[in-house]
């Protein structure tokens, strides 16, 4: 056997195996050329049958004469007759649309890798079907000199689009035309019955035609008559006037004229029947005149007349509009503001007030302008006199001028670890800010020293739109911790800044959401409303909640503000304008003065002078005075909205930031403004870097305001309706 070894035997076996595998693969892929190879596919000879436009094609199936490996895939390129198509399994079907001879190529591919293909040139003839012109509905009748209603001729079946239309026999009514696309229109100029033949010529290479007879009747118009009850109204001296006389019937065009008497001074009648102008003289008695309409009938025109009477009265005495002027700023040119007046006979002359307005002045034209020199609140009364020497009642306004303050802007700071809205942000005694809840039960800390957020311990449950209150009475247990409650259930927990953890504390008497939580001077925390009128106190020493007095009405979405005397002002909520005071000494609620309007989801800010600013959500704001127990309107906000924040700054202004408003009322905004207590008005300041609402705003120890999270709503409208997108934000920024 020679020099046999196991290694040489293995090499020989491997070579044989490799050869066998290669041969097998070549066979599978269609290569090789052995006896089992069927060769490329060959399309069977044959020709698809003749078809006709508008008639379902009898169909034809292409087939393989020999060769190829099934299944096969068919396709066509070139001038396939419009309306016909070749399916992937070789069926040629459809309804031909255009007559003619069409040459195209059919291709077949088998399943081999790569596929083997074959092609076959094909010619198909499509004959023109007889063109059938639609005769129903028929063209409508018309009226001489009146615009024809219009009519489109059409083809019921047959032919090859597009069709060209023409009149081949008879004649159209004079004044009407037939366009090439089959539209009959115009203004008839003669009466009678008109017979004609409309012919459609198709777009085939050898055009075919189809025709049908039609009749169009053009009638005489109805008798000319001025529309009954068409009387012009009374007018007002100095006020624009407008009225249109109308008539039915008659040969058009119609002409209008005054044929007896005269029109009130300042009015004119145009030939189309429009009575317009501005009356220049009042009349104690009606001005009587006759108006005549004349048609265009030849040789004798028809007419109709009507007697009319118009009384021109003096306008009511003038009144002054209620829109208040915006707040100005010392040293900055005031944007001219036009006071408005209603009624009265022009020209109107304003009576400037004699009271000072901080350097501003009102001209005889009612424009407030100038450059303010003194900050303050300046009450004035304003009146206007008309050309009849009638003076309006005096109307009270307030001119507001704020101090000029250093420019402040928003700047970016580190982003939160996750996007949040409906969360809380609480300034700790360490100077850091605890941000908790929103999308989940997580929490994090913002460090002003580094400008970064870092994760801290998580709450026991997921909370959103809850409350978080710093326990800041150093004489009581749990000093410096944060009480978190509401939203999820009746549970509550305490965050310990030293340990960085949350721990359970007593449960609220009922589950609450949309409630308030206010730290009292006693160190206890008052929880009110959401969802009813109940209230309770959290005792940090005992770690328990206990019911206290009941509010006068159920509230949700209200505000609760600790006053300097230790009482708590509860205002608004739901659809309420009412307010009440909680007295912790007796544990009871008593009514106080009402707000000027119902507010919910608004803000309440204790000002330096002890009053409370209530702002939103419709752009109005008011101030509560604990001394008088009443609310008074302050200046108008610059940007009405919902979901903004209000933060008292160290310079005594209140920062209003963000919110939901804009053109559609549902877009988040980046605008910000400042409430200036010396003027009781709002002035613009730098804008947020990112539009947001439902965010938080926290005053830091250095006077900077930290803005965190919220949502960015964008409302987009189109023909199909409106869509609001909502992006929850993880970004944060600083105002300073």
The predicted pLDDT at position 252 comes to: 97
The predicted pLDDT at position 244 comes to: 98
Across 429-440, average pLDDT: 97
Instruction: Report whether pLDDT(541) > 80.
Output: yes
Name the residue among 658, 641, 664, 670 with its Cα closest to residue 715.
Answer: 664
Percent helix, strand, coil in the chain (nearest 5)?
5, 40, 55
Across 272-296, average pLDDT: 97
**Which tokens hold the place of 143?**
């009226």
Instruction: Report whether pLDDT(2) > 80.
Output: no
Across 602-625, average pLDDT: 95
Chain center to CA of 468:
35
Going by pLDDT thresholds of 50, 70 and 90, the confidence category of residue 664 is: low
CA pair distance 664, 659, nearest whole angstrom? 13
Q: Where does residue 381 rank: exposed (0-12), middle (13-18), buried (19+ CB within 10 A)?
A: middle
The predicted pLDDT at position 284 comes to: 86
The predicted pLDDT at position 684 comes to: 95
The predicted pLDDT at position 34 comes to: 44
- The strand order across the sheet containing 568-571 reads 559-562, 568-571, 579-583, 588-592
Instruction: Report whether pLDDT(14) > 50.
Output: no
Residue 66 φ/ψ, nearest 5 degrees? -165, 165
Q: In whole numbers, what is the pLDDT of the chain averaged over residues?
A: 92
Going by pLDDT thresholds of 50, 70 and 90, the confidence category of residue 641 is: confident
Q: Is the dihedral of CA 88, 89, 93, 99 positive or negative?
A: positive
The predicted pLDDT at position 531 comes to: 87
More confident residue, 102 or 663: 102
Going by pLDDT thresholds of 50, 70 and 90, the confidence category of residue 662 is: low
The predicted pLDDT at position 10 comes to: 31
Cα 405 to Cα 16, 334, 409, 517, 656: the distances in Å are 95, 16, 12, 33, 16
The predicted pLDDT at position 506 comes to: 95
Across 166-187, average pLDDT: 98
Q: What is the CA radius of gyration of the chain?
A: 44
The predicted pLDDT at position 26 comes to: 34
Q: For 215-243, how does the pLDDT look when each residue is reduced to its tens digit (9 = 90+)? A: 999 999 999 999 998 899 999 999 999 99
Q: Percent of the chain at pLDDT above 90?
A: 88
Across 166-184, average pLDDT: 98
Instruction: Report whether pLDDT(444) > 60.
Output: yes
Instruction: Report whether pLDDT(365) > 70.
Output: yes
Across 306-314, average pLDDT: 97
CA pair distance 588, 603, nearest whole angstrom? 23
Answer whether 268's CB lies under 8 Å from 231's CB. no
The predicted pLDDT at position 640 comes to: 75
CA pair distance 28, 41, nearest whole angstrom? 16
Q: Percent of the chain at pLDDT above 70?
A: 94
Going by pLDDT thresholds of 50, 70 and 90, the confidence category of residue 663 is: low
Please state, as a whole number, how many other Cβ atoms lie within 10 Å of the Cβ of residue 668.
Answer: 28
Across 29-53, average pLDDT: 77
Q: For 455-483, how does the pLDDT look when each residue is reduced to its tens digit (9 = 90+)? A: 999 999 999 999 999 999 999 999 999 99
Across 298-321, average pLDDT: 97
**Domains, the chain:** 42-127 (2.60.40.10), 132-219 (2.60.40.10), 225-313 (2.60.40.10), 319-402 (2.60.40.10)
Instruction: Report whether pLDDT(13) > 70.
Output: no
Answer whether 506's CB lies under 8 Å from 478's CB. no
The predicted pLDDT at position 616 comes to: 87
Instruction: Report whether pLDDT(589) > 90.
Output: yes
Instruction: Report whether pLDDT(4) > 60.
Output: no
Lowest mean pLDDT among 131-140, 559-568, 651-660, 711-720: 711-720
Across 703-726, average pLDDT: 86
Instruction: Report whether pLDDT(369) > 60.
Output: yes
Instruction: Report whether pLDDT(27) > 50.
Output: no
Instruction: Report whether pLDDT(35) > 60.
Output: no
Answer whether 652's CB lies under 8 Å from 608's CB. yes
Name the residue among 393, 387, 339, 394 with its Cα closest to residue 362.
Answer: 339
């Amino acid at each position: 056997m020679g020099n046999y070894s196991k290694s040489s035997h293995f090499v020989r076996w491997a070579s044989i195996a490799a050869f066998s595998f290669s041969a097998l693969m070549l066979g599978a892929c269609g290569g090789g050329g052995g006896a089992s190879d069927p060769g490329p596919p060959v399309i069977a000879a044959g020709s698809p049958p003749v078809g006709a436009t508008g008639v379902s094609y009898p169909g034809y199936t292409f087939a393989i004469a020999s060769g190829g490996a099934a299944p096969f895939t068919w396709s066509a390129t070139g001038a396939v007759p419009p309306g016909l198509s070749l399916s992937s399994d070789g069926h040629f079907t459809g309804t031909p649309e255009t007559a003619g001879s069409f040459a195209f190529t059919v291709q077949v591919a088998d399943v081999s890798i790569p596929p083997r293909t074959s092609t076959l040139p094909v010619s198909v003839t499509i004959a023109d079907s007889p063109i059938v012109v639609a005769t129903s509905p028929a063209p409508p009748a018309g009226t001489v000199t009146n615009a024809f209603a219009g009519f489109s001729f059409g083809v019921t079946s047959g032919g090859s689009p597009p069709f060209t239309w023409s009149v081949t026999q008879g004649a159209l009514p004079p004044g009407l035309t037939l366009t090439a696309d089959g539209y009959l229109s115009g203004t008839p100029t003669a009466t009678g019955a008109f017979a004609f033949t409309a012919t459609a010529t198709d777009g085939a290479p050898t055009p075919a035609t189809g025709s049908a007879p039609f009749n169009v009747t053009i009638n005489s118009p109805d008798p000319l008559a001025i529309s009954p009850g068409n009387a012009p109204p009374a007018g007002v001296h100095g006020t624009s006037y407008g009225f249109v006389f109308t008539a039915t019937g008659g040969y058009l065009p119609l002409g209008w004229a005054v044929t007896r008497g005269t029109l009130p001074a300042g009015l004119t009648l145009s030939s189309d029947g429009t009575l317009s102008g501005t009356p220049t003289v009042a009349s104690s008695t009606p001005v009587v005149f006759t108006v005549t309409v004349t048609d265009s009938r030849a040789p004798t025109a028809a007419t109709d007349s009507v007697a009319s009477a118009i009384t021109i009265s003096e306008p009511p005495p003038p009144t002054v509009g209620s829109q208040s002027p915006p707040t100005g700023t010392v040293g900055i040119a005031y944007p001219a503001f036009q006071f408005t007046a209603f009624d009265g006979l022009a020209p109107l002359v304003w009576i400037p007030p004699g009271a000072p307005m901080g350097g501003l002045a009102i001209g005889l034209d009612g424009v407030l302008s100038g450059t303010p020199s003194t900050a303050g609140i300046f009450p004035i009364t304003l009146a206007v006199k008309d050309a009849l020497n009638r003076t309006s009642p005096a109307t009270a306004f307030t001119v507001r001028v704020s101090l000029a303050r250093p420019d402040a802007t928003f700047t970016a700071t580190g982003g939160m670890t996750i996007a949040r809205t409906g969360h809380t942000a609480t300034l700790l005694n360490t100077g850091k800010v605890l941000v908790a809840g929103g999308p989940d039960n997580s929490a994090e800390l913002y460090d002003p020293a580094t400008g970064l957020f870092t994760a801290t311990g998580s709450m026991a449950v997921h909370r959103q739109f809850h409350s978080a209150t710093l326990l800041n009475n150093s004489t009581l247990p749990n000093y410096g911790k944060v009480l978190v409650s509401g939203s999820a259930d009746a549970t509550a927990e305490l965050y310990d800044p030293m340990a960085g953890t949350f721990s359970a504390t007593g449960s609220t008497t009922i589950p609450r959401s949309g409630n308030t939580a206010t730290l009292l001077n006693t160190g206890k925390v008052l929880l009110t409303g959401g969802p009813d009128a109940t209230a309770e106190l959290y005792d940090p020493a005992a770690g328990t909640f206990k019911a206290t007095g009941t509010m006068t009405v159920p509230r949700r979405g209200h505000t609760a503000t600790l006053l300097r005397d230790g009482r708590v002002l509860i205002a608004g909520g739901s659809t309420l304008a009412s307010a009440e005071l909680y007295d912790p000494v007796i544990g009871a609620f008593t009514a106080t003065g009402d707000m000027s309007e119902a507010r919910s989801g608004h803000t309440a800010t204790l000002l330096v002078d002890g009053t409370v600013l209530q702002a939103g959500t419709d752009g109005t704001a008011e101030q509560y005075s604990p001394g008088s127990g009443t609310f008074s309107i302050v200046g108008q906000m610059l940007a009405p909205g919902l979901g903004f924040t209000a933060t008292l700054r160290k310079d005594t202004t209140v920062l209003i930031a963000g919110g939901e408003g804009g053109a559609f009322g549902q877009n988040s905004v980046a605008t910000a403004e400042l409430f200036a207590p010396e003027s009781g008005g709002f002035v613009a300041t730098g804008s947020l870097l990112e539009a947001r609402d439902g965010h938080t705003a926290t005053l830091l120890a250095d006077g900077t305001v930290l803005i965190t999270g919220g949502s960015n709503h964008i409302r987009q409208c189109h023909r199909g309706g409106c869509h609001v997108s909502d992006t929850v934000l993880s970004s944060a920024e600083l105002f300073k």
